[in-house]
Structure 1
Amino acid sequence: MTHDFEARAAELLGPGAHGYFAGGAGDEVTLRDNVAAWDRFALLPRVLVGVEHRDTSVTLLGRERPHPFLVAPMAYQLEAHPDGETGTARAAAATGSIMVLSSQTTTDPRQVAAAAGPADRWFQLYVYRDRGLSHDLVAAAREGGYEALVITVDFPFGGRRERTERSGFTLSHPPFVDGLAGPRSLAERHAMHDPSLSWDDVAAFGEASGLPVVLKGVLNPADAVRAVDAGVAGIVVSNHGGRQLDTVLSGADALGPVVEAVDGRLDVLVDGGVRRGWDAAKALALGADAVMVGRPVLWGLACEGEAGARRVLEQLVDELDGTLGLLGCPRAHDLDASHVARRPT
């Protein structure tokens, strides 16, 4: 089973790289809770529905997608495997998954786009103090045919990542952004982020890019409503994989109030702790339009390169399909609050 990839990846990557990819902020309370939170929700099947034919498709940014899984933006993928971002792009393309490429890619965004071919792809943007650097990244994304701009808004500066600090992890493969800004240490890269980023900047980047904007890192319903007012196309309910501020809400727990606040006025995605197809079914039942999956894909990449990342994505889609059948809801579009309940405590 592909969930065994995580243990194998720890051995293959060594403590430095594995600690960087696996670790979270502080005491890693949120890191653990991201996974545990999905288990606090139980599925409520219906029977005698007729589930011979099932449909995992969802609608996202106005287009029908074959399933709700996106590959979350993850930095430095060449540190995990020589296939790196191009391997992940090919795996995503082969499975109909949207890849969201990180600003901290270790491969030129245009090369990643070439590997993905005609497949859908989005670009994640960090906004740096040097706005020219961020605009250069947007230009590379536009040139590479990326469909949407995913602006990460929960990273004014790096969280306290003690596991990475203890390991002293350093990069063997410089990210693409270093070619634009010069060599940097991890601490120096974190210091590049602009803590003055505001709502006004969101509109400016949207206009400059000409792409639909999705804001990643929203947990508070008030910010979700503000995003509606800002005219963005979507938001990602996310705590940055538990890597920024420890003890914040999990994606699963924050999702419902955010969905209620936006009331269908923009697309809502969620990430954090999605490990199985039934986790995705719960997310859709709670009102999400799609889910992002990060570490499981990274572990697959680390173990078997492109083939491993593809296996993970294929298994997630297959598990969702099986969940729809056993849940008595053959269409992913029809999942709603009647299909899920909080477990008794």
Structure 2
Amino acid sequence: MKWSIPERIIEKGRSYLNDGRVLSVTPDPDNQVWHGEVLGSELYRVDLDATAKEEDYCQCLYWEEHGFCKHTVAVELYLRNQGQSRKITASTVPKSESFSASQMFSNGLHYLTNKQDRSQVPLQIECQLDSIATNPYRDELDILGISLKIGQQHGRSYMVKNIYKFLQVYQTEKVYAANKRNSFYLNHKAFTQEENELLQRLAGLAQTQELLGRTGVSIDGKMDKKYLLLPVEYAKEFIQKMADFPFVFQYGDHKLHELTFSEKNRMLSFQVSKGTDGFDLSIHYDFDKVYQYYGWALFSGQIVELSAEQMDIYLTMKQLLKRLEKPVITYPQAELSVLFKQVLPLLEKIGEVQVDQQVYQYISNEPLFLRFYLKNVKE
């Protein structure tokens, strides 16, 4: 096989071989050619050159443009599986058999049926959720991408490089080549019921994204087909399903193997205390990460679901704090009423506000007066 043939073409040829699409391969010693029939979108005639020149031929359009194709590769891989090389000798030529239309027709349809003779090796999937940046200056606009690993139960798992192709192979229950050395027969019986339910949902999601013209997630200007974009509408449902399997959530340098949803949504902590120059409003706890598109915030390994109002308050606060060296705002006594009437009611919507007892002395240091006003109303 020529070294110049791309790996993706070789993988497609191997997939054709595994699917039983190579219907026949017969030697022609007089012309030093192997004649093959491969079932693609139609039945293709392939001639494999048995000389050192390796000048192969196929009827498909791709071969006419490139001089090689997955059909010629599939025939050569077929010979290797049979222990044959390209070279044809008189001793290796089998006794010729007459053409059988019935065998040709049956073999042509065979790849569509379930391969009952394949051993049902139990498989398992691993789920990963990655935080993917969309704007280097605004990390709250990150999106979430779903990726998978596939492997035998209790064995090594391999990253799925193209999740769209993987899910297509899964739906048709065919052989998926994870790499050059490892292929997996994605029969539905090889997975548990829960895994099948998740894979079916992911397959439907992949089809929808493909219809919308979005296959993959853009990373550094390139579409990475390793990822499915986590949909906002069903984001919580997908995460809860993926959490039932080996799972990892990765954002920045952090990795979480468990991800749960908090029942609370007021997780932050604020404190008002008496300072030397006034009254200090300080922020003691903050979110680890915020996802504006999803309305989520990460806090101590949990997802906090925020309303649109809560998200707006938090992001506005973070923008204002960027102008300060420390998350502490000092209010003079004259602005205490603004702090308590305008600022703290908003902060209480996203966290707990603690006011030191000493502060109340300055709030209530003026006596209250009660006045009655009487008005004469003439009828």
Bin the TM-score by the shorter chain. under 0.3
Between Structure 1 and Structure 2, which shows a larger proportion of helix residues?
A: 1
TM-score by length of 2: 0.21
Larger CA Rg, structure 1 vs 2: 2
Report which structure shows greater RCO (CA 8 Å, sep ≥6): 1
TM-score by length of 1: 0.22
